[in-house]
Structure 1
């Protein structure tokens, strides 16, 4: 199978996978709905009102990005499904490798398509979320003319989601199952990572905390954005190299 045919084949699998489509749509639409609800409910409330999520006012360029955590969980599930689904009862991976014996090429195409998909979902999700936040919340920022700093943070979320998805994919590929990445990464996404970071500085170098530095308020005590991006990219690269070597050498 040629490279183009392989890309088409893997793309067809992704597009026709109902669970994957549902996860992507829920990540986008669910986050938008939560952003509107959160922003609309805060209208007319003083920035330091204790009823708000944080008593300290959130800088404008970081407003709306607290919604990233919801989609994060779904992105991890999407990546885990991408890695583990072909090892199920049907053993679809055997058919793929019979059609394309070049295992490194198969692995590379899977990684490329996953990264492209998650980056697109992440950008669309957070761009819509931030626009909705400023439109519904009457923050003073024109939702149709976002500042460069806000766009940079939107790109940071897309990048962090992509690296996280690649880490989840690598773990799922090593385990031949979606369970391992869900067990290891989901707790870090839903708040355990933030809790650990609060009393151990070394936790800032864990992949999720490092990725959060790409779009979080510096007051959160995380790494600098560039450092955080490089650390999370290193996690993804090392795990993908290991997973790729194992995928190339192990029987399906």
Structure 2
């Protein structure tokens, strides 16, 4: 597909904004998928291209947090493997059943997370007593969230960070760093599939990858430095926005 410089510039700027949002709270696809569709890219190609550019942003944010010691790959090998397995399983189950009824539960979960951060979450910059061990998290919550990402996807980053705060007692910036690493894991399988079997708009994807790198780096920096005062309000906004988007998709379908 051929794209004018104007369209590529717009896609780059959208990706910058989406990368910034994704690095902090997730939900950048609310910006990038409509932008790709408005650029005249067919839906299947738009989804594949979105996974390409979004994974690049997630990798950038995860690398930022790793280099600053907020998260360790070595210390999280068990949940990483569990999330990868869960993601593959979720993608397989999606092909076997009608998921329309289950989709209706997603806005409820997203709104619940938004309300938790808005009204109930206190001292999010402080570490609290873990409710479960790291090993138990790796065999329960980690594969479940990986399964959800493979099965459906929206809000995965918010689910990951919230689970780490509630179950592992992590401060919000540490939970966000871990969520980026885990989200990268669950994205890689889908990205590999799209590269080999999907149709990617590589020129548009390259422009958005560049935007994602910039936006994700800035977003990770804001999250790392700002902590709860930055992450909390953006998470609330994106949870409500994603829930509205999912409901609209269901009603329109």
TM-score range, shorter chain: 0.3 to 0.5
Q: Which is bigger in relative contact order (C-alpha 8 A, separation at least 6)?
A: 2
Q: TM-score, normalised by structure 2?
A: 0.33
TM-score by length of 1: 0.33
Q: Larger C-alpha radius of gyration, 1 or 2?
A: 1
